[in-house]
Chains A and B, each alone.
Chain A
Amino acid sequence: MNKHLVNAAVLTAIIGATAQVQAAGRDTISIVGSSTVYPFATVVAERFGRSTSFKTPKIESTGSGGGLKLFCKGVGANTPDITNASRRIKKSEYDDCQANGVTEIVEVLIGYDGIAIANSSSAPTFNMSLKDVYLGLAKDIPGPDGKLIPNPYKTWKEVNPSLPATRIEVLGPPPTSGTRDAFAELAMGGGAKGIPALKALRDLGADQEAEIKQAMAELGVPAGVYDALKEQKGKAPKGEYVFETIAYAVREDGAYIEAGENDNLIVQKLAANPDALGIFGFSFLEENGDKVHGSVIDGVSPTFDTIADGAYPVSRPLYFYIKKAHVGKIPGIQEYAIEFTSEKAMGEDGYLPEKGLIPLSDEELAKVEADVKALNTLSM
């Protein structure tokens, strides 16, 4: 009943535990990062834990951006050793790492992932171009006079007469997701490039301020956008940045529905609603072949082979990054990376492609294996 005694005991226990942890460091590899790489990294971690004497690495699914932020916070047992990313590290993140003492980073390319635009198997397969995707989903599109207007399309048939006359309704990931970033860049950006005025804007360099402003005026974009970008980047923006601001904006009138990070949920909703399209990673398409099928984009349907040889336009590379300063301090980091990049994991017949990872070509794989063995560091 003596509360003081109990409180004191708890406090001592906590302090004791802290001291113990700080003294002992850590013997489990700590991995954070992308939810897209998570299913692959966990398979490797599991095999690694079962077949070696090292402990099974602990893998958190924090998203690519969140993972790099944690990774770049510094060196020491309280920071992760490896971060997974479904896109390449950005220059700003790299600089952040350098500033915090994480100077040596090993970049490992592990394979590719396709982003599928799929609908229910009970509905006909969509056959569209990237331009159709852009015109159907962009917030503003060039109108008849060349000026941007709010997206007027209600059905896919209005976008392209060869598409079905169903209402535009697309379930996709929220802006925090790496899948959304890649979709914006590859599908929306790729489609917008098919429109001459936007393509011209994209090709302008940072020194062509007058031309950029001219192009913006022709599109009816307020001049304030340029200044805002200039302030954000801290220098004169390239035409490409203005292009991204315009092209990557997804409509907010209810046609694009943010369905959360859970791709299984999108698959379930698609199965229940044959009129809707959904955006998610290729591995979910592969697992749910009986419920949904992927749309043909620019004449190519998303399959293992088309993503591997680069024919399918909406595919992206997957990476993980190793903190070299931790190699040798935390046991097993390099061994884990070697297991990950081995032929039996990442090779064409390896266990990762069986889980839906699109493997690297033989030359790429050989280079990655060599990089990991030598721990070659990245410089940007």
Chain B
Amino acid sequence: MNSTNEGASASHSSAAIKASLKKRYARERRFQWYGRMAVLTGFVFLLVLLVDIVGKGYPAFTQQYIRVTVDFSAEQLGVAPGASEEQLAAANYLGVIKNSLRAMFPEVDSRKEKRQLYRLVSVGAEYQLRDMLLADPQLLGQTREVWLQAHSEAGSYLKGQVSAASAEADRKVKDVQMAWLDQLRAQGRTESRFNTTFFTAGDSREPEMAGIKVALYGSFFTLLVTFLIAFPIGVSAAVYLEEFAPRNRLTDLIEININNLAAVPSIVFGLLGLAVFINFFELPRSAPLVGGIVLSLMTLPTIIITSRAAIQSVSPSIREAALGVGASKLQTVFHHVLPVAMPGILTGSIIGMAQALGESAPLLMIGMVAFIMDVPAGVTDPATVLPVQIYLWADSPERGFTEKTSAAIMVLMGFLIVMNALAIYLRKRFELK
């Protein structure tokens, strides 16, 4: 048919060909449109997701403060002047805060209203005052204007997320609290600041005091362990299989198994981690060490497969040239093949690590889904990771955690974007050589 094309075109009527040509062009155009629709649909989904998350999450990056006149008198704190540090730490800061709030609104006298008044400032305010006084014992006996963190409910009103329009019984911020907050705002006693707590605190049950520091450290330690284990083992395995291993049934079997391993659901690795590393080797629960080992098992196949592909794609002429000038097999691989394959290997490793960063299912089994407030100092301290922190906050009853959840998702996505961008950059940077 190919060889007779020219003759056929001359003998057939040109109208028929034109008609069929038109049909074929139309078919191509239609296919292109299908493709565009597919891309567009994917893009719309992504956009909806992003808009939803950013829309919900951005208020979490600001935090509301209320300026309160605090009287650090020894009498109010219930300590003697010149008290020791220990006595100061145990002083009655809550009472001081309550007194300050009552002084601002002297008309409040019913028990119920008082409780609502105290709920304007965060539960953490007493620890804030304690830390202030411990840092500077000279404050004892003085009166200071202090910016205290607002309670998350009061904060949501100050941020304009709750309005007086809805029925009072249906919302946590009551009318009287709104009136107080309006009054404070009119006096310039409220302020909105960038939420540093979100990055410097661990988990908390009070939304305004909760932060992602433990999760960030946990993710870092976990990925460090994952990288230290998966990268050397993965690259070594790929180099051996690609450059040195004989091609026989056994290596075929190994290859099939590696490919299968890449498709194993991640929860299975969690079960394995529980049985082997925690129950048998008695490594500590909830530690990034175990999390990292489990995730490295999950990441290994990805690294091996991409590394093999990268090594395979190195031009044979490079190997032949190296061998030709007298390099040994080992020298050829390490001096010539690996450097050329490195961008591909790094790309694969980074994508594997990004997968590991977003993983939460296997960590459930090894106890990393936990409430942890103290920042881990090493790989054996209890820690949690970003996706798990998101999961825990999404499940919390307090309304204030909704925005925290979305904000943590934004941070996680930020890291994923950076890692994927780095992978693309490395590929572009080195592949031209």
Contacts and interface: CB of A to CB of B under 8 A. Distances in A.
Residue of A45, A50, A262 ringed by the most chain B CB atoms within 10 A:
A50
Contact of B289 (A14, A283, A290, A355): A14
Interface string B50-82: 000000000000000000000000000000000
Residue of B167, B228, B379 ringed by the most chain A CB atoms within 10 A:
B228
Interface stretch (B192-200, B277-285, B410-418): B277-285
Interface string B106-146: 00000000010000000100010000000000000000000
Contacts of B203: 42
B244 interface: no
Closest 9 CB pairs of A and B: A290-B170, A59-B371, A56-B373, A60-B370, A42-B371, A287-B397, A58-B382, A43-B205, A6-B232
Given A10-B229, A60-B369, A262 B285 contact: no
Contacts of A264: 394-397
Interface in B331-360: 334
22 contacts: A3-B236, A6-B232, A17-B283, A20-B380, A21-B283, A22-B282, A30-B285, A39-B205, A39-B396, A46-B204, A46-B373, A56-B372, A56-B373, A56-B374, A59-B370, A60-B369, A61-B371, A121-B170, A264-B397, A289-B169, A349-B115, A355-B397
Contacts of A1: 334
Given A59-B370, A263-B397, A3 B278 contact: no
Interface residues of A, number: 51
Contacts of B371: 38, 41-42, 45, 58-61
A301 interface: no
Nearest to B370: A60
Residue of B115, B282, B283, B370 ringed by the most chain A CB atoms within 10 A:
B370
Contacts of B282: 18, 22, 78
Interface of B: 115, 123, 127, 166-167, 169-172, 203-206, 228-229, 232-233, 235-236, 278, 281-286, 289, 293, 334, 367, 369-374, 378-380, 382, 392, 394-399
Contacts of B171: 289-290
B370 A288 contact: no
Given A10-B228, A18-B281, A20-B380, A284 B169 contact: no
Interface in A273-325: 281, 283-284, 286-290
A10 B373 contact: no
A259 to B, nearest CB: 13
Contacts of A51: 127
A356 B397 contact: yes
Main secondary structure of the interface of A (DSSP, over half): helix
Nearest to B372: A58
B232 A287 contact: no
Contacts of A14: 289, 293
A355 B204 CA distance: 13
B232 A17 contact: no
Contacts of A6: 228, 232
B367 A46 contact: no
A109 B286 CA distance: 27
A232 interface: no
A6 B367 CA distance: 28
Interface string A147-184: 00000000000000000000000000000000000000
Contacts of A263: 395, 397
B370 A3 contact: no
A17 B290 CA distance: 11
Contact of A290 (B115, B166, B293): B166
Given A10-B232, A58-B286, A78-B285, A287 B172 contact: yes
A34 interface: no
A3 to B, nearest CB: 5
A20 B392 CA distance: 30
A61 B392 contact: yes
A26 B367 CA distance: 15
B379 A28 contact: no
Interface string A347-363: 00101000110000000
A21 B378 CA distance: 12
A262 B394 contact: yes
Nearest to B282: A78
Contacts of A355: 205, 397
B382 A39 contact: no
B320 to A, nearest CB: 23
Nearest to B293: A14
